[in-house]
Amino acid sequence: MVTANNEVHETVNVAVIMICDIHGKTFDLYCKTHDLVICVAGLLSKHKHCSDAVISLHEAATYAKTSTALDDVSDSVNDTLDNMKNFINNRNVAMQNIEVQEQSIRKFIGEIRTNLNKHLDKIELSELYTNCKIKEWKSPENIS
């Protein structure tokens, strides 16, 4: 193997011991209860009550691969669920903000309408007063 500094290194193989140091037999089984690899003699001596939880090493390896994939999918689904919950929560907050803004705008429009009506009433009253004064001024009694 060549590193980034162009140095050459050899890959070292690591041996995995597949022999039970207690019984001298190869590990062929996996105990899911104790999360251990075991040999047939270990099954008979120490794991006889775990028989429902003992599977072959090949099956355990396959299970580990699918379990990891399943965990990845599960994590992805959970992340998506969290994102959806956040989205829904943010949407609800936004809707509440919109409702508050709508009420504020309605109140503001109501105040403007009230002020506008008061102003129009003043203009109308002023117009009536002016018309009355003009009629009074033009009336025959005031002409001399």
Nearest alpha carbon to residue 26 among 10, 39, 7, 36: 39
Q: How many domains does the chain have?
A: 1
Contacts of 27 (CB under 8 A, 6+ apart): 18, 19, 20, 37, 38, 39, 57
pLDDT tens sequence across 45-86 = 877 788 788 888 888 877 776 666 677 778 889 999 999 999
Does residue 42 lie in a domain region? Answer: yes
Does residue 25 lie in a domain region? Answer: yes
Whether residue 35 is predicted with pLDDT greater than 80 in this model: the reply is yes
Q: Which of 48-57, 88-97, 124-133 has the highest mean pLDDT?
A: 88-97
Q: Is the pTM of this model over 0.85?
A: no
Does residue 92 lie in a domain region? Answer: no
Does residue 82 lie in a domain region? Answer: no
Q: Quote the domain boundaries for residue 29.
A: 1-57
Does residue 128 lie in a domain region? Answer: no
CA distance 60 to 32: 9
Instruction: List, in sequence order, every residue forming a beta bridge with 30; answer none if it has no partner.
Output: 37, 55
CATH number for position 15: 3.30.160.60
- pLDDT at residue 34, rounded to an integer: 84
Where residue 37 falls among pLDDT bands split at 50, 70, 90? confident
pLDDT tens sequence across 5-18 = 667 667 666 555 67
Answer whether 40's CB lies under 8 Å from 25's CB. yes
Whether residue 44 is predicted with pLDDT greater than 90 in this model: the reply is no
Whether residue 25 is predicted with pLDDT greater than 80 in this model: the reply is yes
Average pLDDT over the chain reads: 84
Using CA atoms, how far residue 17 sits from 3, 63, 70, 133, in Å, is 30, 21, 29, 118
Does residue 39 lie in a domain region? Answer: yes
